[in-house]
């Protein structure tokens, strides 16, 4: 159910309905409601309101819609299409940029048309609005939620190398940007290993619901709980490791799926993250840091 | 009530639009239903209505229509300012806009997108949907702060919000928004940070409070030179580092590198980067598959980081 418009939003829509009905005389109530993305009931309320409007109280707009089809007369003063608002232009510009991403290079005519539209409708705004290689918002929201809740995710992934799309169940570990490309690092059930997935190639993502019990924690691929201490860069650590359960002082507990990933993350943090427990993992990190350092002796 | 206010706003628009002359407040109160009560109450009602129509982007002009009665001002809306300035769009272009608005279906700017499309369709252009075999991606952003930022940008109003800073504490920030954008799935607002007196970029998912508008509209100018596109561009990779990378490893690093030489198990690469700290992070992620030969600054920073890690885990 969509939110009901406030009086100002409703007034704006009433103003826009008039020229629309003029160029679409006889449109059905349901089609008209769909054009304005509102419920039929709300459209009827709009039409009833519009019916009470006019230049003077004795010279009202004439509307006919009892038949289920809408006709308008005597509203010449309002039969003017209003200029697009900044919000409307912004929404369209973002949509066009997104659209561009899904048009193949062979349709140069469409790509040219998009540039023309942007100039025609958006000239003053173009420099205020920008979208770079965009990833479907729905995909992102599901991934973020999965990371937050440490839940499994079902994704449809397009592998460019083989040019096939496949369905996989993954356990998200983290989202990271590698050389400007956003990557989801996740434990993939079908590969039985940690894989990185380019976000722009994930076409669909849905949470796989699991009960939040100890068994499901094991099933969802969590291999161990690690206690870490955060020395600096705390926002980045939070955003990288996902949910951290606060412990004593600046220590936190984090559930991990894959040790090798955590080790790389601790190394990359350059000292911002310290693993407190388990001791074996702590020792392994020290060993690896020493190994890398030994290359410079 | 809801309906009555909407009707009053529509009637006011009709009155101001239909007249070829300035009309006075007293004429408005007399002819438009809904202005009732004490003079003060009517006055307040009118002022508010006027402000709200202006917020919708309707330009209400104020002027004097008779030099003999200077104290009595008149109001009007010029049809040429009210009317959309677009006259020519091809059916294919309209179909593209239609697809573009589909991306927002059910998302935060969905109603704005469809209202914009309805206006364009009201121009009477036919849409040729068959010409474009596209299934647009969905923009399911439901962050209401995005809509608030765009509203504030439209009215050029200052906004304030709590922002998660790098030390993970929340800081209150006041910003004159200049632009909005999205990159790699994150949404950003750029603008003049009033405290820091500089143009800054904020990630919307790091805004932890509701975005609030402050003060009046048109309170600042957006510099001519501002470009959101430039704001979102990563810093240019203007520095070069010499790396040894194990053969068949560290593919991510190789995207920004030129292969110089190849010997035994190592490739010698020239890697382009913009920031030492970020470079060290990348290098450490690849563990012992990478060695940095120069510049010295990078090498030292990397060894310092490794030392710190060893100290922490000793």
Give dist(CA A226, CA A228) in Å, integer. 6
The region of weakest confidence among A218-222, A265-269, B26-30, B237-241 is A218-222
Q: Which residues of B touch A286 (CB under 8 A)?
A: 309-310, 313-314
Within 10 angstroms of residue B45's Cβ, the number of other Cβ atoms is: 17
Residue A45 has pLDDT above 90, yes or no: yes
B160 vs A141, more confident? B160
Q: What is the pTM of this model?
A: 0.69
The region of weakest confidence among A29-43, A97-111, A174-188, B176-190 is A174-188
Cα–Cα distances in angstroms (integers) from residue B9 to residues A37, A50, A153, B130, in the given order: 22, 11, 49, 39
Q: What pLDDT is recorded for position A212?
A: 36
At residue A275, the 3 state secondary structure works out as strand
- Please report which confidence band the pLDDT of residue A1 belongs to, taking 50, 70 and 90 as the band edges: very low
Residue A223 has pLDDT above 70, yes or no: no
Q: Residues 6 or more apart from A34 whose CB is under 8 A from it? A: none
Q: Which of B14, B181, B306 sits opposite A77 (nearest CB)?
A: B14
- Mean pLDDT across B167-192: 87
Residue A62 has pLDDT above 80, yes or no: yes
The region of weakest confidence among A104-113, B7-16, B80-89, B133-142 is B133-142
Residue B68 has pLDDT above 80, yes or no: no
Q: Residues 6 or more apart from B311 whose CB is under 8 A from it? A: A271
DSSP summary character for residue A291: H
Test mutation, A78, A274, A289, chain B, max B CBs within 10 A: A289
**Contact flag A12-B56 (C-beta cutoff 8 Å):** yes
Q: Which residues of B touch A58 (CB under 8 A)?
A: none
The region of weakest confidence among A14-18, A89-93, A286-290 is A89-93
- Please report which confidence band the pLDDT of residue A215 belongs to, taking 50, 70 and 90 as the band edges: very low
- Mean pLDDT across A273-285: 92
**Contact flag B184-A177 (C-beta cutoff 8 Å):** yes
- Mean pLDDT across B121-129: 81
The tens digit of pLDDT for each residue in A237-277 reads 877 776 677 777 788 988 776 677 788 889 999 999 999 98
Q: What pLDDT is recorded for position B16?
A: 92
Q: Which residues of B touch A177 (CB under 8 A)?
A: 184
Residue B66 has pLDDT above 70, yes or no: no
Q: Which residues of B128-164 are buried (b: 16+ CB within 10 A; e: fewer)?
A: eeebbebebbbbbbebebbbbbbbbbbbbbbbbbbbb
Q: Which of B122, B137, B255 sits opposite A98 (nearest CB)?
A: B137
- Mean pLDDT across A117-121: 85
Query: Residue B161 in contact with residue B172, Cβ under 8 Å?
Result: yes
Q: Residues 6 or more apart from A265 whose CB is under 8 A from it? A: A174, A240, A241, A273, B285
B201 vs B68, more confident? B201
Q: According to the per-residue pLDDT averaged within each range, which of A26-35, A159-168, B134-143 is highest?
A: A26-35
Q: What pLDDT is recorded for position A131?
A: 63
Within 10 angstroms of residue A297's Cβ, the number of other Cβ atoms is: 4
Q: Does residue A276 belong to the interface with chain B, where contact is any CB pair within 8 Å?
A: no
- DSSP secondary structure, A190-211, as one string: TTTEEEEEEGGGEEEEEEEP--
- Please report which confidence band the pLDDT of residue A220 belongs to, taking 50, 70 and 90 as the band edges: very low
Q: Which of A22, A84, A92 sits opposite B100 (nearest CB)?
A: A92
Residue ranges of E strands in chain A: 27-28, 54-56, 59-60, 62-64, 69-73, 129-131, 152-159, 164-178, 181-188, 193-198, 202-208, 224-230, 245-246, 251-256, 273-277
Q: Does residue A112 belong to the interface with chain B, where contact is any CB pair within 8 Å?
A: no
CA B223 to chain centre: 15
Residue A29 has pLDDT above 90, yes or no: yes
The tens digit of pLDDT for each residue in A161-204 reads 555 678 888 888 777 765 556 778 888 877 777 788 888 788 78
| A122: nearest CA partner in chain B | B86
Q: What pLDDT is recorded for position A242?
A: 66
The two structure tokens encoding residue A206: 């849905």
| Mean pLDDT score of chain B | 86
Q: In DSSP terms, which residues pair with A27 in a beta bridge?
A: A70
Q: What pLDDT is recorded for position A68?
A: 94
Residues 147-176 of A with CB under 8 A from B: none
């Amino acid at each position: 159910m969509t939110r009901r418009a406030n009086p100002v939003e409703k007034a704006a829509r009433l103003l826009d309905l008039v020229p629309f009905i003029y160029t679409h005389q006889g449109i059905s109530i349901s089609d008209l409601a769909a054009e304005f993305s509102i419920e039929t009931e709300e459209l009827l309320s709009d039409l009833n309101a519009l019916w009470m409007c006019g230049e003077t109280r004795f010279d009202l707009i004439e509307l006919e819609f009892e038949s289920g089809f809408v006709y308008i007369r005597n509203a010449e003063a309002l039969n003017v299409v209003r200029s697009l608002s900044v919000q409307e232009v912004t929404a369209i510009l973002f949509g066009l940029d997104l659209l561009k991403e899904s048009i193949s290079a062979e349709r140069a005519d469409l790509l040219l048309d998009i540039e023309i539209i942007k100039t025609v409708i958006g000239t003053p705004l173009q420099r205020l609005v920008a979208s770079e290689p965009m990833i479907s918002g729905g995909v992102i929201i599901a991934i973020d939620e999965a990371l937050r809740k440490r839940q499994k995710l079902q994704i449809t992934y397009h592998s460019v190398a083989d040019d096939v799309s496949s369905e996989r169940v993954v356990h998200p570990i983290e989202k990271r940007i590698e050389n400007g490309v956003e990557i989801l690092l996740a434990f993939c059930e079908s590969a039985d290993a940690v894989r990185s997935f380019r976000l722009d190639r994930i076409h669909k993502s849905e949470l796989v619901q699991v009960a939040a019990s100890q068994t499901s924690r094991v099933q969802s691929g969590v291999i161990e709980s690690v206690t870490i201490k955060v020395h600096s860069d705390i926002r980045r650590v939070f955003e990288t490791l996902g949910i951290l359960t606060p412990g004593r002082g600046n220590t936190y507990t984090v559930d991990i799926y894959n040790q090798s990933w955590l080790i790389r993350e601790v190394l990359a943090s350059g000292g911002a993250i310290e693993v407190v427990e388990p001791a074996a993992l702590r020792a392994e990190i020290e060993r690896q840091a020493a190994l890398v350092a030994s290359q410079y002796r | 009530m809801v309906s009555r206010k909407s009707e009053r706003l529509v009637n006011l628009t009709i009155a101001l639009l239909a007249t070829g002359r300035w009309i006075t407040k007293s004429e408005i109160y007399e002819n438009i239903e809904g202005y009732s009560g004490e003079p003060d109450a009517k006055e307040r009602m009118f002022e508010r209505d006027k402000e709200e129509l202006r917020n919708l982007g309707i330009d209400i002009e104020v002027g004097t229509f008779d030099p003999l009665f200077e104290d009595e001002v008149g109001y009007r809306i010029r049809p040429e300012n009210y009317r959309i300035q677009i006259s020519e769009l091809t059916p294919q272009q309209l179909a593209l806009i239609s697809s573009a608005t589909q991306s927002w279906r059910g998302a935060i700017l969905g109603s704005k997108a469809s209202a914009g499309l309805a206006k364009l369709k009201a121009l009477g252009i036919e849409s040729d949907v068959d010409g474009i075999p596209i299934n647009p991606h969905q923009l399911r952003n439901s962050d209401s702060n995005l809509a608030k930022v765009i509203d504030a940008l439209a009215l050029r109003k200052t906004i304030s919000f709590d922002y998660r800073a790098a030390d993970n504490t929340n800081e209150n920030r006041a910003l004159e928004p200049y632009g909005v954008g999205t990159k790699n799935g994150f949404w950003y607002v750029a603008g003049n940070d009033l405290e820091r007196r500089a143009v800054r970029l904020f990630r919307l998912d790091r805004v932890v409070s509701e975005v609030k508008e402050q003060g009046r509209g048109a309170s600042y100018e957006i510099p001519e030179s501002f470009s959101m596109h430039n704001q979102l561009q990563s810093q240019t990779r203007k520095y070069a580092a010499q790396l040894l990378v194990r053969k068949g490893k560290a593919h991510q690093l190789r995207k920004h590198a030129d292969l110089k030489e190849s010997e035994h198990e190592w490739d010698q690469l020239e890697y382009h980067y913009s920031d030492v700290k970020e470079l060290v992070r990348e290098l450490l992620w690849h563990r012992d598959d990478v060695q940095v030969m120069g510049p010295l600054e990078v090498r030292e920073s990397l060894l310092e980081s490794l030392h710190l890690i060893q100290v922490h885990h000793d």
